[in-house]
Amino acid sequence: MRGVFQRENRSRINLKDQFIYHLDNIGLSYGRLKALNQVTLTINPGDMIFLTGKSGAGKTSLLNLLAGHLRPTSGKIYGMTDERFVAQVFQDLKLFDDLTIEENLWYAYDRSLYKTKAEFISDRNELIALLGIKDRVHLKVSQANGGLKHKAALIRALLTRPQILLADEPTASLDKENAHKIFDLLNFYNVKRNLTVIWATHNRELIKNFPGKIVHLENGKLVYSGHACFI
Protein backbone atom coordinates (compact mmCIF):
# COMPACT_ATOMS: atom_id res chain seq x y z
CA MET A 1 0.00 0.00 0.00
CA ARG A 2 1.39 3.35 -0.97
CA GLY A 3 1.82 6.52 1.01
CA VAL A 4 0.23 7.16 4.35
CA PHE A 5 -2.85 5.06 3.76
CA GLN A 6 -2.72 2.28 6.31
CA ARG A 7 -6.18 0.86 6.49
CA GLU A 8 -4.95 -2.19 8.37
CA ASN A 9 -4.10 0.00 11.33
CA ARG A 10 -7.56 1.38 11.79
CA SER A 11 -8.66 -1.05 14.44
CA ARG A 12 -5.63 -0.47 16.63
CA ILE A 13 -6.55 3.00 17.72
CA ASN A 14 -9.94 3.87 18.94
CA LEU A 15 -10.69 7.25 17.44
CA LYS A 16 -13.77 6.03 15.58
CA ASP A 17 -12.29 6.89 12.18
CA GLN A 18 -12.88 10.57 12.80
CA PHE A 19 -9.44 11.76 11.98
CA ILE A 20 -7.74 12.21 8.64
CA TYR A 21 -4.25 11.85 9.99
CA HIS A 22 -2.96 10.75 13.32
CA LEU A 23 0.76 11.17 13.89
CA ASP A 24 1.93 9.10 16.78
CA ASN A 25 5.27 10.16 18.24
CA ILE A 26 6.87 10.83 14.88
CA GLY A 27 10.58 11.28 14.37
CA LEU A 28 12.26 12.07 11.08
CA SER A 29 16.00 12.13 10.53
CA TYR A 30 18.08 13.06 7.55
CA GLY A 31 21.23 11.19 8.38
CA ARG A 32 22.31 12.55 11.74
CA LEU A 33 20.04 15.57 11.60
CA LYS A 34 16.81 15.18 13.48
CA ALA A 35 14.28 17.27 11.54
CA LEU A 36 11.23 16.12 13.52
CA ASN A 37 11.23 14.83 17.05
CA GLN A 38 8.38 13.21 19.02
CA VAL A 39 5.58 14.89 17.11
CA THR A 40 2.09 13.72 18.04
CA LEU A 41 -0.77 15.35 16.22
CA THR A 42 -4.30 14.58 15.08
CA ILE A 43 -5.86 16.22 12.06
CA ASN A 44 -9.62 15.99 11.64
CA PRO A 45 -11.77 16.39 8.53
CA GLY A 46 -12.53 20.04 7.83
CA ASP A 47 -9.60 21.34 9.89
CA MET A 48 -7.82 24.46 8.73
CA ILE A 49 -4.39 24.34 10.25
CA PHE A 50 -1.54 26.76 10.05
CA LEU A 51 1.79 25.09 10.48
CA THR A 52 4.15 27.73 11.81
CA GLY A 53 7.76 27.92 12.84
CA LYS A 54 11.03 29.49 11.75
CA SER A 55 12.90 28.38 8.70
CA GLY A 56 14.38 24.96 9.44
CA ALA A 57 11.77 24.12 12.09
CA GLY A 58 10.49 21.12 10.13
CA LYS A 59 7.35 22.42 8.35
CA THR A 60 8.21 21.14 4.88
CA SER A 61 9.33 17.80 6.30
CA LEU A 62 6.02 17.41 8.11
CA LEU A 63 4.04 18.21 4.95
CA ASN A 64 6.08 15.69 3.01
CA LEU A 65 5.30 13.05 5.61
CA LEU A 66 1.58 13.81 5.36
CA ALA A 67 1.78 13.66 1.57
CA GLY A 68 3.47 10.28 1.74
CA HIS A 69 6.68 11.46 0.07
CA LEU A 70 8.70 10.64 3.17
CA ARG A 71 8.35 7.97 5.79
CA PRO A 72 8.98 8.63 9.46
CA THR A 73 12.20 7.31 10.94
CA SER A 74 10.32 6.49 14.13
CA GLY A 75 6.71 6.54 15.24
CA LYS A 76 3.73 5.95 13.04
CA ILE A 77 1.38 7.86 10.79
CA TYR A 78 -2.19 6.66 10.57
CA GLY A 79 -4.00 8.01 7.54
CA MET A 80 -7.69 7.73 6.84
CA THR A 81 -7.48 9.01 3.35
CA ASP A 82 -6.21 7.80 0.04
CA GLU A 83 -3.40 9.97 -1.27
CA ARG A 84 -5.34 10.40 -4.53
CA PHE A 85 -7.44 12.94 -2.67
CA VAL A 86 -4.50 14.92 -1.39
CA ALA A 87 -3.21 17.92 -3.34
CA GLN A 88 0.04 19.62 -2.56
CA VAL A 89 1.45 23.04 -3.32
CA PHE A 90 5.18 22.60 -3.00
CA GLN A 91 7.60 25.24 -1.77
CA ASP A 92 9.29 25.16 -5.18
CA LEU A 93 5.87 24.99 -6.92
CA LYS A 94 6.79 22.40 -9.54
CA LEU A 95 5.29 24.22 -12.50
CA PHE A 96 6.50 23.64 -16.05
CA ASP A 97 8.57 26.71 -16.90
CA ASP A 98 8.28 26.46 -20.68
CA LEU A 99 4.50 26.20 -20.64
CA THR A 100 1.99 28.97 -20.08
CA ILE A 101 0.02 29.25 -16.86
CA GLU A 102 -3.07 28.05 -18.69
CA GLU A 103 -1.25 25.01 -20.08
CA ASN A 104 0.02 24.18 -16.62
CA LEU A 105 -3.53 24.26 -15.26
CA TRP A 106 -4.59 21.62 -17.78
CA TYR A 107 -2.40 19.17 -15.89
CA ALA A 108 -5.10 19.13 -13.22
CA TYR A 109 -7.72 17.93 -15.67
CA ASP A 110 -8.84 14.40 -14.99
CA ARG A 111 -11.80 12.86 -16.76
CA SER A 112 -12.76 10.89 -13.70
CA LEU A 113 -13.24 14.14 -11.77
CA TYR A 114 -15.12 16.21 -14.33
CA LYS A 115 -18.14 15.14 -16.37
CA THR A 116 -17.14 17.42 -19.22
CA LYS A 117 -14.25 19.59 -20.28
CA ALA A 118 -16.61 22.55 -20.04
CA GLU A 119 -17.10 21.85 -16.34
CA PHE A 120 -13.35 21.92 -15.80
CA ILE A 121 -13.00 25.13 -17.78
CA SER A 122 -15.77 26.73 -15.77
CA ASP A 123 -14.09 25.85 -12.45
CA ARG A 124 -10.74 26.97 -13.79
CA ASN A 125 -12.08 30.31 -14.97
CA GLU A 126 -13.79 30.91 -11.66
CA LEU A 127 -10.53 30.40 -9.77
CA ILE A 128 -8.60 32.52 -12.25
CA ALA A 129 -11.11 35.33 -11.75
CA LEU A 130 -11.14 34.97 -7.95
CA LEU A 131 -7.37 35.37 -7.80
CA GLY A 132 -7.37 38.16 -10.38
CA ILE A 133 -4.93 36.67 -12.91
CA LYS A 134 -7.20 36.54 -15.97
CA ASP A 135 -5.02 38.85 -18.03
CA ARG A 136 -1.85 36.87 -17.29
CA VAL A 137 -2.72 33.21 -17.89
CA HIS A 138 -1.14 33.29 -21.34
CA LEU A 139 2.26 34.13 -19.90
CA LYS A 140 4.86 31.43 -19.78
CA VAL A 141 5.77 30.44 -16.24
CA SER A 142 9.34 31.56 -16.96
CA GLN A 143 7.95 35.09 -17.54
CA ALA A 144 5.72 35.12 -14.47
CA ASN A 145 6.61 36.74 -11.16
CA GLY A 146 6.67 34.79 -7.89
CA GLY A 147 3.17 35.82 -6.84
CA LEU A 148 1.63 34.75 -10.12
CA LYS A 149 3.40 31.41 -9.93
CA HIS A 150 2.12 30.82 -6.41
CA LYS A 151 -1.42 31.54 -7.51
CA ALA A 152 -1.08 29.23 -10.52
CA ALA A 153 0.23 26.39 -8.37
CA LEU A 154 -2.63 26.85 -5.92
CA ILE A 155 -5.28 26.90 -8.67
CA ARG A 156 -3.79 23.77 -10.21
CA ALA A 157 -3.97 22.01 -6.85
CA LEU A 158 -7.59 23.04 -6.22
CA LEU A 159 -8.64 21.92 -9.70
CA THR A 160 -7.76 18.35 -8.74
CA ARG A 161 -10.75 18.59 -6.37
CA PRO A 162 -8.85 17.37 -3.33
CA GLN A 163 -10.24 16.55 0.10
CA ILE A 164 -7.01 17.70 1.68
CA LEU A 165 -4.72 20.49 0.59
CA LEU A 166 -1.15 20.63 1.80
CA ALA A 167 0.30 24.01 0.96
CA ASP A 168 3.88 25.04 1.64
CA GLU A 169 4.15 28.80 2.10
CA PRO A 170 1.64 29.60 -0.67
CA THR A 171 1.78 33.31 0.14
CA ALA A 172 5.57 33.50 0.27
CA SER A 173 6.07 35.95 -2.59
CA LEU A 174 2.81 37.85 -2.27
CA ASP A 175 2.07 41.26 -0.82
CA LYS A 176 -0.48 41.67 1.97
CA GLU A 177 -3.48 42.17 -0.29
CA ASN A 178 -2.72 39.12 -2.42
CA ALA A 179 -1.89 37.00 0.60
CA HIS A 180 -5.34 37.85 1.95
CA LYS A 181 -6.91 36.85 -1.37
CA ILE A 182 -5.33 33.42 -1.04
CA PHE A 183 -6.37 33.21 2.59
CA ASP A 184 -9.98 34.10 1.69
CA LEU A 185 -10.03 31.56 -1.12
CA LEU A 186 -8.76 28.73 1.08
CA ASN A 187 -11.10 29.77 3.85
CA PHE A 188 -13.98 29.62 1.37
CA TYR A 189 -13.03 26.12 0.23
CA ASN A 190 -12.58 25.07 3.84
CA VAL A 191 -15.95 26.38 5.04
CA LYS A 192 -18.11 25.76 1.97
CA ARG A 193 -16.54 22.62 0.56
CA ASN A 194 -15.15 21.08 3.71
CA LEU A 195 -11.62 21.07 2.31
CA THR A 196 -9.10 20.19 4.98
CA VAL A 197 -6.24 22.67 4.69
CA ILE A 198 -2.80 22.34 6.21
CA TRP A 199 -0.81 25.40 5.41
CA ALA A 200 2.80 26.05 6.32
CA THR A 201 3.57 29.71 6.75
CA HIS A 202 5.54 32.19 8.73
CA ASN A 203 3.22 35.01 7.81
CA ARG A 204 2.23 36.01 11.35
CA GLU A 205 0.29 39.03 10.13
CA LEU A 206 -2.11 36.79 8.24
CA ILE A 207 -2.90 34.44 11.10
CA LYS A 208 -3.20 37.03 13.85
CA ASN A 209 -6.99 37.05 13.85
CA PHE A 210 -7.35 33.55 12.60
CA PRO A 211 -10.16 31.50 14.18
CA GLY A 212 -8.64 28.07 13.44
CA LYS A 213 -5.77 26.05 14.70
CA ILE A 214 -2.06 26.71 14.86
CA VAL A 215 0.51 23.97 15.05
CA HIS A 216 3.84 25.51 15.95
CA LEU A 217 7.20 23.77 15.48
CA GLU A 218 10.54 24.68 17.02
CA ASN A 219 13.62 22.69 16.03
CA GLY A 220 11.49 19.76 14.95
CA LYS A 221 9.41 19.68 18.13
CA LEU A 222 5.74 20.48 18.35
CA VAL A 223 5.65 23.20 20.98
CA TYR A 224 2.10 24.48 20.56
CA SER A 225 -1.10 23.16 19.11
CA GLY A 226 -4.28 25.11 19.58
CA HIS A 227 -6.11 28.34 18.97
CA ALA A 228 -4.20 31.18 17.36
CA CYS A 229 -5.17 33.74 19.98
CA PHE A 230 -2.94 32.13 22.61
CA ILE A 231 0.34 32.62 20.79
Ligand X SMILES: Nc1ncnc2c1ncn2[C@@H]1O[C@H](COP(=O)(O)OP(=O)(O)O)[C@@H](O)[C@H]1O
Q: Is 77 in the site for ligand X (CB under 6 A)?
A: no
171 binds ligand X (CB under 6 A): no
Q: Are strands 48-52 and 196-200 parallel, antiparallel or unpaired?
A: parallel
**Helices 146-158 and 117-130: angle between axes, nearest 10 degrees:** 140
Q: What is the pattern of x (binds Mg ion, CB under 5 A) and - over residues 40-59?
A: -------------------x
How far, in Å, CA of 148 to CA of 137, rounded?
A: 9
* CB 87, min distance to ligand X, A: 18
Tell whether residue 178 is a contact of ligand X (CB under 6 A). Answer: no
From residue 108 to residue 147, the character string flagging contacts with ligand X as x (rule: CB under 6 A) and all else as - is ----------------------------------------
Residues 6 or more apart in contact with residue 125 via CB below 8 angstroms = none
Minimum distance, C-beta of residue 210 to ligand X, in the bound complex (Å): 19
Name which of 166, 202, 223, 199 is nearest 38 in CA terms.
223
User: Can you tell me which of 52, 60, 201, 203 binds Mg ion, judged by CB under 5 A?
Assistant: 60
> What does 11 bind: Mg ion, ligand X, none (CB cut-off 5 to 8 Å by kind)?
none
The DSSP secondary-structure symbol of 5 reads: B
Q: Which of 20, 23, 26, 57 binds ligand X (CB under 6 A)?
A: 57
Do 201 and 207 touch, CB atoms closer than 8 A?
yes
At residue 71, the 3 state secondary structure works out as coil
Q: Which residues bind ligand X (CB under 6 A)?
A: 30, 33, 35, 53, 55-61
